[in-house]
Structure 1
């Protein structure tokens, strides 16, 4: 397995993983299937913002999973905080792909001077919560019944990882 920046040739695999999560899981709270053009626009938006989209690919270059982050909130005061997403192909879960993607993504966030990474996870997704805790994320809150999917209410757990030890946000990050 290799982790690298996503390219246009990866969009079909990314779209397939995303749509599977829509149809089969509560990891994504959307209910509408998307097409490759949707993911193309999303990838372009991430690139314009200077944010990575990483893919884990097999030896034969098939997308096994992907991860990215974006702004936590749009206002200036949140400029050092990002929220991430990580998705692994259903037949590859539990093989360490999510962890590898997250470790690479955390490094990229640190490299561009981000201070906190936020995870919003459906509270019943214990596998994802455990993975994040193993990576150093701490539970930060729970919002009850803020979403719905598959005919039931969903709770949203927030976890966060502090990426550096800055006490002054205007001080450059030590590398």
Structure 2
């Protein structure tokens, strides 16, 4: 599996991964699918802060980050997203994506990475714990999808100096 910066031409495959998660799971609270064009815009804007996992010439996962909140006090805090195709899970690609993303984040001046995880996704909580993230909070019933109120688990990792 190859981990590399995303290219705008990866947007169709990334949209496929993202939109399947939106349609079929409670992993994300959003119900809005994304177009390849909007994802291509994100890739262009984020540069190396948008990484993909490629296997057999196919994008099977991605990880990216953006600013956690607005305002100069949050300049060194980023919130990330990571999603994998189901067949790519358990192959080490997620770990490698996060390692690459952390490296880019450090070079970008990030001090903290934040993960907002659906409590309906305990595998993601375990995954992040294994990568050194600490659970710092749980926000009951802040998400709503499929007629259900959902909890958000907040985790963070202090990157510190490399």
Q: Contact 2:27–2:120 (CA<8 Å) still a contact in 1?
A: no
Shift of 1:45: 2.9
Tell me the residue number matched to 1:148. Answer: 144
Secondary structure of the 2:34 match is: coil
Residue 52 of structure 1 corresponds to 49
* Whole-Å separation in 2 of the counterparts to 1:160 and 1:34: 26
| Distance in 2 between residues matched to 1:3 and 1:74, nearest whole Å | 29
Task: Name the CA distance, whole Å, in 2 between partners of 1:151 and 1:135.
Answer: 32
Whether 1:9 and 2:6 are equivalent positions in the alignment is: no
The answer for the alignment partner of 2:127 in structure 1 is 131
Separation (CA, whole Å) in 2 of partners of 1:53 and 1:73: 18
Highest RCO, 1 vs 2 (Cα 8 Å, sep ≥ 6): 2
1:115 maps to which residue?
111
Deviation >6 Å, runs of 4+: none
Cα distance in 2, alignment partners of residues 45 and 112 from structure 1: 14
Deviation sequence 1:28-56 (CA, Å, 0-9, x none): 22212222112122223323xxx610000
SS of corresponding position for 2:153: strand
Q: Give the secondary structure class of the aligned counterpart of 1:30.
A: coil
CA distance in 2 between counterparts of 1:129 and 1:116 reads 17
Unaligned stretches of 5+ in structure 2?
Answer: none
Secondary structure of the equivalent of 1:127?
helix
- Does 25-34 or 4-13 show the bigger shift? 25-34
Distance 1:116 1:36 in 2: 29
2:102 matched residue in structure 1: 106
SS in 2 for 1:128: helix
Quick one: distance in 2 between partners of 1:9 and 1:41?
11
Where does the alignment leave 5 or more consecutive residues of structure 1 unmatched?
165-172
Q: Residue 78 of structure 2 aligns to a residue in which SS? A: strand
Residue 83 of structure 1: CA displacement?
A: 0.4
- Paired with 1:80 and 1:124, the residues of 2 have a C-alpha distance of 29
TM norm structure 2? 0.94
CA RMSD of aligned residues (A): 1.3
Who wins on radius of gyration, i.e. which is larger?
1
